Amino acid sequence: MNASPTVVVIPGDGIGPEVIDAALKVVRAVLGDELEIVEEQAGYSLWKKRGVTIEDETIERCREADAMLFGACTTPEDPEAKSPIVTLRKELGLYANVRPARSWPVPRPVDTEFDLVIVRENTEGLYTGCECEIHDGVTVALRKISEEGTRRVAEVACDLAEERSGRVTIVHKANVLKLTCGTFKRVAAETVERRGLEWDDEYVDAAAYKLVREPDSFDVILTSNLFGDILSDLAAGLMGSLGLAPSANLGDDAALFEPVHGSAPDIAGKGIANPVAAILSAAMMLDHLGYGEEARIIERAVEEVLREGVRTPDLGGSATTEEVAEAIAERVATG
């Protein structure tokens, strides 16, 4: 690469700074100082200082960066407080949320080996925040599904499917939500067929059941915002912990990578947070930036370290956040 990629790092609140420090330790072990790291603040700590959860200047730096690495933020309960991650998704057009899930060598509730990825529409559905009270005691929320929004996220799912099995499973509830889910299913299917790939579909409740019983029957799952949010946490449970679940938020001109878990304030500062999700998110970021070989090195190191039993308490181990990060970094450094 001719110039060092610029990465905006937002550690956030709770365990965010701990797991992001761990991820950066591993990144430096494989790349040295090749990335230009710019650290920014967002979340509850910033709200307490300045009355905002993310500043306009930070959003602009994110817009100009080659990628973002995000920890976890606590959103204040104040109705005026905006979620920093939701704000970035909307401001930067991060319409596709990509959440891989696979079986790792750790204790987990199912013995089946699986390797799947959930592609979730990230800016529409029920998460647009369009709610109102139509009369006393009755509230409604508007669910937005557009052809354009569906088509562009379906293209991302197709890109992934082309690298994998060539098959996409469209998850919806068109038997009940005939207009909104009907649009999602129709446009998604049209897009997959135009790309020359195979597709099948599942109702979301049946997909949840099948994920538990037969996770290996899925490869690329394409679904809407709320359904994807729920199914990806279910998939994390199948892996054994949210601490193993990375994600990417992708748009046409921006990319943000973050662990799926939240800020977990109850364990912040105790040194027991699982850094693997953040480390794997950083690996996804490196892959996006063109460092595919380095990303694979990190993934292999994570698998080897977990197999050797270096695990945080959420996986039944006794290692600290720092010990897991150091073990992975040492393995990465040796190739």
Would you please indicate which residues are annotated as catalytic (active-site) residues? 127, 173, 205, 229, 233
Which 3 state secondary structure label does DSSP give 332?
helix
Alpha carbon of 82 to those of 9, 78, 141: distances in Å? Answer: 19, 9, 18
Question: Which has the closest alpha carbon to 69: 7, 146, 137?
Answer: 7
* Beta-sheet pairing, 96-102 with 246-250: antiparallel
Residues 6+ apart with CB under 8 A from 3: none
Which 3 state secondary structure label does DSSP give 289?
coil
Our measurement of the distance from residue 101's CA atom to the centroid of its chain's CA atoms, rounded to an integer in Å, reads 10
Which 3 state secondary structure label does DSSP give 71?
strand
DSSP labels, 91-113: HTT--EEEEEEE--SS--S----
Q: Which residues make beta-bridge pairs with 240?
A: none
Residues 6+ apart with CB under 8 A from 157: 119, 168, 188, 192, 220, 222
Structure tokens at 100: 């891989």
Query: What is the rounded CA–CA span in Å between residue 261 and residue 269?
Result: 16
Query: What is the rounded CA–CA span in Å between residue 158 and residue 191?
Result: 8
Question: What is the signed CA dihedral for 153, 207, 106, 117, rounded to 10 degrees?
Answer: -20
